[in-house]
């Protein structure tokens, strides 16, 4: 096989590997994932895995980039479907972000804990993490009221990430979860 079919087949295989790694990580945690175990579990030749990914770190980064694209799409959809005018976007985006983070904890870790090279402001960061930031910025821009929208988006993302990680770590009062999320969505980032 050569030409366009080969390229499509290789992209399909790469996508299949990333999907298998994502599912494996969610089932057993990243600590349980190895290239060999993934190859066995997904019934993929280990040589194919290494042809596409030099090591587990490269595979985790690919999972993270794919997940950033997924959450960016979720945020865009939430923003588009938000009610209440431009200021109604932020609560909808908060809900979509938290839903994704809690439903996909291992993938979320791949995105924001295990891949420090995907930080904003670093040269060569793929488009997907930048798209998440752009969606957060777009949802918060109507609330900026003279503040820098980029900084406001950084603060918003920091709040969301902090509440996710502290909640998952069992460090916050479970009975106050809804109130915390409502504060972030409805009151905390609004100007007086």
Based on the fold, state whether residues 91 and 137 are members of the same structural domain: yes
- Specify the pLDDT at position 36: 95
Pairwise CA distance, residues 61 & 118, whole Å: 8
Classify burial at 49, counting beta carbons within 10 Å of its beta carbon; exposed 0-12, middle 13-18, buried 19 or more: buried
**Residue range 137-166: average pLDDT?**
95
Range of the domain at 130: 57-187
Report pLDDT digits (tens) over 156-175: 999 999 999 999 999 999 99
Asked if 56 and 21 count as a contact pair (C-beta separation under 8 A), the reply is no
Contact 20, 42 (CB under 8 A): yes
Among candidates 172, 188, 69, which has minimal Cα distance to 118? 69
Say yes or no to pLDDT of 192 above 70.
no
Q: Read off the pLDDT of residues 82-131 as tens digits, 9 standing for 90 and up.
A: 998 888 999 999 999 999 999 999 999 999 999 998 888 778 889 999 99
Q: Are residues 1 and 91 in the same domain?
A: no
Give the end of a domain, one of 53, 81, 96: 53
pLDDT at 86: 86
**98 & 181 share domain:** yes
Specify whether 21 is located in the same domain as 89. Answer: no
CATH of the domain at 2: 1.10.10.60
What's the structural domain count of the chain? 2
């Amino acid at each position: 096989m050569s030409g366009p079919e080969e390229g499509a087949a290789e992209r399909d295989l790469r996508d299949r590997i990333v999907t298998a790694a994502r599912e494996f990580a969610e089932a057993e945690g990243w600590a349980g994932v190895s290239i060999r175990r993934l190859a066995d579990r997904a019934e993929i030749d280990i040589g194919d895995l290494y042809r596409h990914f030099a090591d587990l770190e490269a595979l985790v980064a690919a999972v993270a980039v794919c997940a950033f694209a997924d959450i960016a799409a979720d945020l865009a959809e939430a923003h588009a479907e938000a009610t209440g005018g431009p200021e109604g976007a932020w609560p909808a985006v908060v809900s979509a972000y938290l839903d994704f983070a809690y439903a996909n904890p291992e993938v979320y870790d791949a995105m924001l804990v295990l891949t420090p090279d995907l930080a904003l402001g670093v040269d060569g960061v793929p488009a997907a993490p930048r798209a998440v930031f752009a969606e957060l910025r777009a949802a918060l821009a109507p609330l900026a009221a003279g503040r820098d929208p980029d900084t406001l988006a950084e603060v918003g993302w920091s709040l969301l990430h902090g509440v996710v990680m502290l909640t998952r770590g069992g460090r916050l009062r479970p009975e106050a979860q809804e109130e915390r999320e409502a504060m972030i969505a409805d009151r905390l980032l609004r100007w007086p």
